[in-house]
């Protein structure tokens, strides 16, 4: 197994890159999907969230009102930062356990496993052979969030501000996917990335990942 990390700021297009990598044959461990599954109606995680943030985050059908939670943890209030930390403290331990389970299920295969994790920059791991960053100008990300997700511009900017900076994320990258162009350009980027990952899988099989890391950095255009 070759384990690599995939990350990027909100609106960068990370999910699209993940989908294309899956088309190439990668096994995707999707942290966002795991979090959604853990927050299903009646789950212990959702119960703890309701205890912390109130029943107003629960819809009448018992499901999580994600917009209500986002308004609390990404809002422009003095309590938002602590609220976000509390949310992460509830969700992340259970999410990490499930991430570990899914990775271990692939441990003795020859697959390329992609850990799709938005907060990889904030929570770096020492067990990955490469860190892939999907990069985009924050202003373009805001524009796309407003246009394609219907988000309020202020909300989009608050969410971006809650994450580490673009510069910090790029500093930790070994591979950068530039998503400033159209979908065709992005596919070409990911096709090239996949070729590099296949080569890396072969090299790691014959040598140590930490020895290879300095040779892998791919600079942003």
What are the domain boundaries of the chain? 2-26+111-215
Q: Is the pTM of this model over 0.75?
A: yes
* Cα dihedral 53, 59, 65, 71 sign: negative
Q: 81-98 in b/e burial notation, b at 16+ Cβ within 10 A?
A: eebbebbeebbbebbeeb
Report whether 63 belongs to an annotated binding site.
no
Pairing outcome for strands 2-8 and 112-116: parallel
pLDDT, tens digit, 9 for 90 and up, residues 101-160: 999 999 999 999 999 999 898 888 999 999 999 999 999 999 999 999 999 999 899 889
Report whether 15 belongs to an annotated binding site.
yes
Q: 208-221 in b/e burial notation, b at 16+ Cβ within 10 A?
A: ebeebeeebebeee
Report whether 81 belongs to an annotated binding site.
no
Residue 38 has which token pair? 């853990």
CATH superfamily entry for domain 2-26+111-215: P-loop containing nucleotide triphosphate hydrolases (3.40.50.300)
Can you tell me whether residue 81 is helix, strand or coil? helix
pLDDT, tens digit, 9 for 90 and up, residues 198-212: 999 988 865 544 434
Q: How high does pLDDT run on average in the chain?
A: 90
């Amino acid at each position: 197994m070759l384990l690599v990390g995939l990350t990027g700021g909100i609106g960068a297009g990370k999910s699209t890159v993940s989908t294309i990598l899956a088309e190439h044959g990668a096994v995707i461990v999707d942290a966002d999907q795991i979090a959604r599954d853990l927050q299903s109606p009646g789950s212990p995680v959702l119960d703890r969230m309701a205890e912390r943030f109130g029943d107003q985050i629960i819809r009448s059908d018992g499901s999580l009102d994600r917009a209500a939670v986002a308004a609390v943890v990404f809002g422009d209030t003095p309590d938002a930062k602590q609220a976000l930390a509390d949310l992460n403290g509830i969700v992340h331990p259970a999410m990490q356990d499930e991430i570990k389970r899914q990775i271990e299920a692939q441990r003795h295969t020859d697959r390329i496993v992609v850990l799709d994790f938005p907060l990889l920059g904030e929570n770096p791991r020492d067990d990955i052979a490469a860190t892939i960053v999907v990069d985009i100008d924050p202003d373009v990300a805001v524009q796309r969030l407003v246009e394609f997700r219907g988000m309020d511009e202020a909300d989009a900017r608050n969410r971006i501000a809650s994450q580490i900076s673009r510069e910090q994320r790029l500093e930790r990258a070994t591979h950068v996917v530039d998503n400033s162009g159209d979908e065709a350009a992005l596919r070409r980027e990911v096709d090239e990335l996949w070729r590099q990952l296949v080569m890396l899988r072969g090299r790691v099989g014959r040598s140590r990942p930490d020895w290879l890391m300095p040779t892998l950095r791919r600079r942003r255009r």
